[in-house]
Structure formats: structure tokens, C-alpha cells
Chains A and B, each alone.
Chain A
Amino acid sequence: MRLTGADIVVNCLKDEGVEYIFGYPGGAALHIYDAIYNQGAVKHILVRHEQGATHAADGYARATGKPGVVLVTSGPGVTNTVTGLATAHMDSIPMVVITGQVPSGLIGDDAFQEVDTVGVTRPCVKHNFLVKDVKKIAETIKKAFYIAMTGRPGPVVVDIPKDISAETAEYHYPRKIEMRSYQPRTRGHGKMIKKSVELLLSAKQPIIYTGGGAILAEAEVPLTRLVDKLGYPSTSTLMGLGAIPARHPTFLGMLGMHGTYESNMAMYHCDVMLAVGARFDDRVTGDLDKFAPNARIIHIDIDPSSIGKNVSVEVPIVGDCKSVLEDMLELLEGVSDSIHRSAVDDWWETIKGWKRVDSLQYDMSDTVIKPQYVIQKLFEITKGDAYVTSDVGQHQMWAAQYYQFQKPRRWINSGGLGTMGFGLPAAMGVQLGFPDDLVVCVTGDASIQMCLQELSTCLQYNLPIKVLNLNNQYMGMVRQWQEFFYDRRYSHSYMDALPDFVKLSESYGHVGIRVDSPKEVESAIQEAISMKDRLVFIDVITDPEENVYPMIAAGKGHNEIHLKPSRGEIENRELA
């Protein structure tokens, strides 16, 4: 079958089973847009800004586990995707981004809407391609999906000049692809796995620390079985929430900069640490010199370069988290559960002492709305079943702390890059992936304004997202750091010209609700959820000076964690 390059692109997507493509047309992509017009298999979602397309595809990928697909034009179309590519790259999210390019003959001539796409995107993708021959399109797109989805996943860009999408070639989509230069390993090394099990069983003060890799590998079943079997305390990074249910008896909550007291203290004092698909990020480890000083570390990761990058590891295991954990469970089969549980009894007693500090406690108020309370209510009403996306800042931390994620892929946020503006477009991708489920975008008055234009996309495709805006009239996290570290000099963190979000939502064709009293919070959330076919924007006016606690200041150790000031006495006693 002889097809144009543009038709080949669309047929590849169809044969790859792509459901949605998020995009925005423009000159260099017009042949491909024409090919999209002539078919019905791949549904195109027209966004309002290319950054929105990448975040939407990213949200879709995080929630469904399938690759997110984007189509944009050359030049500004490409540069607008860069933030979305970097966001996906940092969190290892599989995406394929197809970009139009100026005709081959004009490349390098500073043509209209020309940018060196491969050069501009190179540092923020897993790989990228410039297709120079129409006969190579199908093979290149197959490679792009294969690279995006295997090994440590990530975004891949395929740049197609306009003349190449007009030329014709025989269409054949390869079923399988082999690359001599890219052969990711999935099975862990048997000897290392055996060693890890022995080390785990010898532990007196163990901790299981999981990250986003456990979610990407869909390792929740063997992971929870391992935690059940060993009865060891477990904690998770921001990216790993939901792999172990938040209400699991061994789960100590999130760790790191805004993690719970008990999880950070357990990390500091542990003797054996099992890291599962986590990368020892600085927001997790704090000061590396003070990081888990007595720990013997086992690290499972599919990316060899993650192992030993920030901390030295005694037992490195390169492999897919799910496969490695299954192999570990097999070795543990003959071991009686009760023996090692009693070995860590004292450890659990110590941890229970830390838990009594109740580090997530906050002061309730009858007059001002505490943001933590809003998230708690959201959790109670939705019973932990909602898909929650977020932007970046205080609201993100509160969502992570107070929404107890019981399932993987329910918590959708930009952890690595910390991209404000991610939440709303990501929620669009999630809602398209799960049209019958409740999707809530927890955001803030600063973040929401960074991709606000996507409210228009939500109307066009009837996406009944619930936007929960924790409106404190500040860039809350910036203000918090300025309060702590810059003597309350609130340099440019105050927003004194906020729009009326209710009217704004209404002008976009949605429902807006303003809440400014604590007693209205619950009913407002319920009312929003009851409007099943409408996007509802709930503008919640919160305490402007509330801070996120606990907090480990950047560059400090886990043992230097700060609790809410009124709890300082307990903190000091515990630290002593």
C-alpha cells in the first residue's frame, strides 16, 4: 500500500493502538493534520497551547500506563513543548512527540518557524529522531514507541520535515524492532537478589523505601506482598505514593523534605534499606553526608546510572522492579513470617514513639479555612478513589500528605521538574483515559494561571474535571521559604491582582463556586462532585500564611527535621 508520509504517520499511530493524540496545528504539520482529518481511529484533542498538549499526554500516560502522544508544528510549536518534555523526562513518563519541521531543503536556512528541534529537545528527552526519508517513517515511529515504553521510560521526539510527509512510500508497520544499541535489561542478577534477601533477613532496623519506579513497573502486587511478608516499615517518595496503600499498617507516610517525622527518623536510624525504583533525589536525602549513616543499602532500579549516583550501594540490582521483587518473594517463600517480625519488634516500638509525635497535626479553625482540612475532606468524600493531579507548591505537598492514596497511578504530579501549570492539562489526559472516574486537580492561585487556557479545551471535549483551587493569594511555597530563610521579605510572591476565579470559570462555560468558610468546604466539594457532567472550579479561600510541616531545610539531614512551631517541645525532646 503506497501512502504519503502523513498517512504513514497516522497509520502507524493506529497500528500502535493510539487512542488520543494531543496537538495543535501549524504550517509544517499541515499534511499530517490533513491525514488526521481523513480518518476516525485516532482521536485528536485540540489544546490551546502546546505545553498543555504535552502535559495532557503526560497525565494520560501516568494514569493509564500507555504512552502519551503529541503532534505539534515546527519552531514555536516545538519550543512550547520543551517544558512538557522535560517534565516527562524527569519523571520517566513514556511519550511520543511528533513535530513538523520546515522542508528538508530549507533546514539550516533560518526558515520561517524553523528551530533545530533535535538540538533544542536533546537534553530533555530519552531520544529523538529527524526523519530524512519517507521510507524510514514507519520504522522510526516504531522505534520511538519501543524506546519510550521500555527500560526506564521517557519521552521521544520524531521530527518530520514537511516535504517528507508529502512524499509517498510503501507502508508497512514493523511488528517488532531490534536495536543493537538499545537492549534494556529486565531480569535482576540472581546472585544479587539472593544477597539482598539475606541482608534483609539479617536486619534489625529495616526500612523499605519505594519510588516512582515501583509505579512505572506496576510492581504494587509483589511490593505489597513483600511488605506483608516481612512486616517491615515502609515509606515512599512523592512519586511513589499509592504503590503501597497509604493505609497499610506498615506504611509510615511520605519521606523527604515534607515527609512525616516517623518516616524520616526511620530512614536516619535504619540499618538496612531496600530502595525500590527510587533515585535518592536531593529532596528525599537532604544532606548526603548525614543520610542514613548506618544503613547497608539494597537498590533495585532499571536504570544502571541511577544506582550509585548519589549514595553508595552495597547490593545493586539492575532490573525491572516487579520482576526483581517477584524473584525475591520466591526466595522468601520458605522463610517463616514470625521469626523476622519478632526480630524487628524493638524497632517498631521506637517507630511507634515517633508516630506519637503526630507530625501532620494542624490547628483547626472555625473562621479561616485550613488547606490541610480541605484535602482531608476531599479524601473522606472520595474515599481515596479519585485521580488527583496537582501543580507545584504548598498545595502539592498538602495533597501528598493528606490525601491517602490507596492505589497506584492515582497521584499525578510533576515531582522531578516541579512544573507549575502541569495540573489542569494533566487532568484532561487523565479524564480522557478514565471518562467515568472522578478527576480532581488540586492547584493554587499561582499555578493554575500558568496553563489556564486549557479550561477552553475542557469545554470543547466535555471534561468534567473538578478544580480545587487552594487560594491563599500567595505563591505559597515561595512565601514560606521567604518567611523562613529571608526574614519575611516577601519578594514578588504576593499576587495582588488575582482574577475572580468564579467569573473566570463561568466565562469559559464552566461552573464556579467560591468557598470562604470552613463549614462550607464539605458541601461545596460534594456539590461539585454531584455535577457529573460539568467542570466545576472550586475557589477555596484559605489561610494565607499556613506553612507546610514537617520540613527538612535544603541541605539538612533527616534528623534535623522541623515540626510545626507549637510542637517544638516534642521535637526537641525526641531529638535529644
Chain B
Amino acid sequence: MKRIISLLLEHEPGALARVAGLFTARGYNIESLTVAPTEDPSLARMTIVTTGSDAIIEQITKQLNKLVDVVKLRTMSDGRYLGRELMLVKVVAGTPDQRNDMQRLVSIFRGRIIDVTDATYTIEMTGNSDKADAFLLALNDVELIEVVRSGILGIGRGKHILRV
């Protein structure tokens, strides 16, 4: 089962390697991993998407907690968190038809065209992963040049808060 784990860790060199190393050393899956500093520059926030049975997820959270650099951690469970992903897509859009079709599609999916050349459009799209997947599916006969996905960022709803 897919799970999202959010963690706050000391913003030190090597902290990311400790987390990534743990996943490979113990044979856990990483579907995506994002990390960036927080409003407190001494802390970084990481969102990991992983898969596994309940027992494996429990071990992953315990092992993560054991890392000296990890300050706090929370497993996001369905309905109690919001997950968002940013996707950048570059497509071939040279003819007027291609451009019109693409503008319509982007507006349906509430994306934005952020770069235009003679031959291409670059589209920015945010939302949950399903929406990103659906958009890519809808592009079935469009020629894709590049797709960049950020991986999921997660935040708890309402009173579900992760902070020091």
C-alpha cells in the first residue's frame, strides 16, 4: 500500500544520504522523495512516498526515527492529509491546431502554459498525483518531449500538524 511519510530533520550535510541509505540498506521502496529547508533554516522537511505492508511501514517509521538527524516524523493517512505534486511538461505544439488543442486541454486541467517557442509549449500543472496522471493520459496523441514531476508534498489537514 502507498504511504506518505513526512519528516523534519536537522538541515545538515549528509542528512539526506542517511535517509536514502536507510531505504537501500533495508530494502524499502522509495517512490518519491522531496526535501527542502523550512522557515527555520536549521530544519529541512522531507516527504517520502513509499509502499509496503503495515508491518513494513511501521518498521520504516521506527528506523527513520532512530536516525539521529530525524527530529520528528508523521505518517500521513488517507483523508487526513493533502498531497500535491508539481509537474512540468514540454510538448510539441507547432501548428495552430496543436496549439488550440493544447490550450483547451490545459485550461480543463487548470494548468498554465509557462513557456512558448515556435515548436513547443511548456505546461505547469499542480494537483494530486491522480490529476497529473490523468493529464498525461489525456495527451495521448500529443508528442511529449519532457516530463518533470516533483514527487508528492504532503501536509496534514486542520489539526494534524508536524512541527517542532
> How many residues on A have C-beta within 8 angstroms of the other chain's C-beta atoms?
18
- The one of A123, A179, A305 that contacts B21, using a Cβ cutoff of 8 Å: A123
Q: Tell me the chain B residues, 47-81 only, with Cβ under 8 Å from chain A.
A: 55, 58-59, 62-63, 65-66, 68-71
- The one of A147, A304, A309 that contacts B68, using a Cβ cutoff of 8 Å: A147
Q: Does B132 contact A (CB under 8 A)?
A: no
B71 lies within 8 A of A305 (CB): no
CA separation between A147 and B18, bound complex, in Å? 16
Q: Tell me the chain A residues, 292-333 only, with Cβ under 8 Å from chain B.
A: 303-305, 308-309, 312
A180 lies within 8 A of B62 (CB): no
A181 lies within 8 A of B69 (CB): yes
A304 lies within 8 A of B65 (CB): yes
Q: B82 CB to closest chain A CB, in angstroms? A: 26
Most B-side CB within 10 Å, residue of A126, A182, A308, A312: A182
Q: B6 CB to closest chain A CB, in angstroms? A: 15
Q: Tell me the chain B residues, 24-41 only, with Cβ under 8 Å from chain A.
A: 25
- The one of B18, B58, B71, B164 that contacts A122, using a Cβ cutoff of 8 Å: B18
Given A180-B164, A304-B62, A308-B55, A122 contacting B68 (CB threshold 8 A):
no
Q: Does B14 contact A (CB under 8 A)?
A: yes
**Residues in A whose Cβ lies below 8 Å from that of B68:** 126-127, 147, 179, 181-182
A 113-129 binary contact with B (CB < 8 Å = 1; else 0): 00000110011001100
Given A122-B21, A130-B14, A180 contacting B71 (CB threshold 8 A):
yes
> How many residues on B have C-beta within 8 angstroms of the other chain's C-beta atoms?
20
Q: B68 CB to closest chain A CB, in angstroms? A: 4
A123 lies within 8 A of B25 (CB): yes
Q: Tell me the chain B residues, 12-27 only, with Cβ under 8 Å from chain A.
A: 13-14, 17-18, 21, 25
**Residues in A whose Cβ lies below 8 Å from that of B59:** 305, 308-309
B interface SS class = helix
**Residues in B whose Cβ lies below 8 Å from that of A179:** 68
Q: Tell me the chain A residues, 177-209 only, with Cβ under 8 Å from chain B.
A: 179-182
**Residues in A whose Cβ lies below 8 Å from that of B70:** 181
- The one of A119, A126, A312 that contacts B17, using a Cβ cutoff of 8 Å: A119
Most B-side CB within 10 Å, residue of A122, A130, A181, A303: A181
B14 lies within 8 A of A181 (CB): no
**Residues in A whose Cβ lies below 8 Å from that of B69:** 181
Q: B98 CB to closest chain A CB, in angstroms? A: 47
CA separation between A97 and B65, bound complex, in Å? 24
**Residues in A whose Cβ lies below 8 Å from that of B153:** none
Q: Does B85 contact A (CB under 8 A)?
A: no
CA separation between A181 and B67, bound complex, in Å? 9
**Residues in A whose Cβ lies below 8 Å from that of B9:** 181
A305 lies within 8 A of B55 (CB): no
- The residue of chain A having its C-beta at the shortest distance from the C-beta of B8 within the complex is A181
Q: B18 CB to closest chain A CB, in angstroms? A: 7
CA separation between A179 and B9, bound complex, in Å? 12
In order of increasing CB-CB distance, the 5 nearest A-B pairs are A305-B62, A127-B68, A181-B71, A182-B68, A304-B62
**Residues in B whose Cβ lies below 8 Å from that of A303:** 66
B18 lies within 8 A of A305 (CB): no
Q: Does B124 contact A (CB under 8 A)?
A: no
**Can you list 28 residue pairs at the A/B interface with Cβ under 8 Å?**
A122-B17, A122-B18, A122-B21, A123-B21, A123-B25, A127-B68, A130-B13, A130-B14, A147-B68, A180-B71, A180-B164, A181-B9, A181-B10, A181-B68, A181-B69, A181-B70, A181-B71, A182-B68, A303-B66, A304-B62, A304-B65, A304-B66, A305-B62, A305-B63, A305-B66, A308-B58, A308-B59, A312-B55
Most B-side CB within 10 Å, residue of A118, A130, A182, A305: A305
Q: Tell me the chain B residues, 124-164 only, with Cβ under 8 Å from chain A.
A: 164
CA separation between A122 and B63, bound complex, in Å? 14
**Residues in B whose Cβ lies below 8 Å from that of A118:** 14
**Residues in B whose Cβ lies below 8 Å from that of A305:** 59, 62-63, 65-66
Q: Tell me the chain B residues, 108-130 only, with Cβ under 8 Å from chain A.
A: none
**Residues in A whose Cβ lies below 8 Å from that of B58:** 308
Q: B9 CB to closest chain A CB, in angstroms? A: 7
Q: A18 CB to closest chain B CB, in angstroms? A: 21
CA separation between A122 and B69, bound complex, in Å? 13
CA separation between A53 and B54, bound complex, in Å? 42
**Residues in B whose Cβ lies below 8 Å from that of A119:** 17
**Residues in B whose Cβ lies below 8 Å from that of A126:** 68
Q: B19 CB to closest chain A CB, in angstroms? A: 11
**Residues in A whose Cβ lies below 8 Å from that of B21:** 122-123
Most A-side CB within 10 Å, residue of B10, B62, B71: B62
CA separation between A275 and B148, bound complex, in Å? 49
CA separation between A308 and B60, bound complex, in Å? 12
Q: B64 CB to closest chain A CB, in angstroms? A: 9
- The residue of chain A having its C-beta at the shortest distance from the C-beta of B60 within the complex is A305
CA separation between A149 and B161, bound complex, in Å? 32
CA separation between A309 and B10, bound complex, in Å? 26
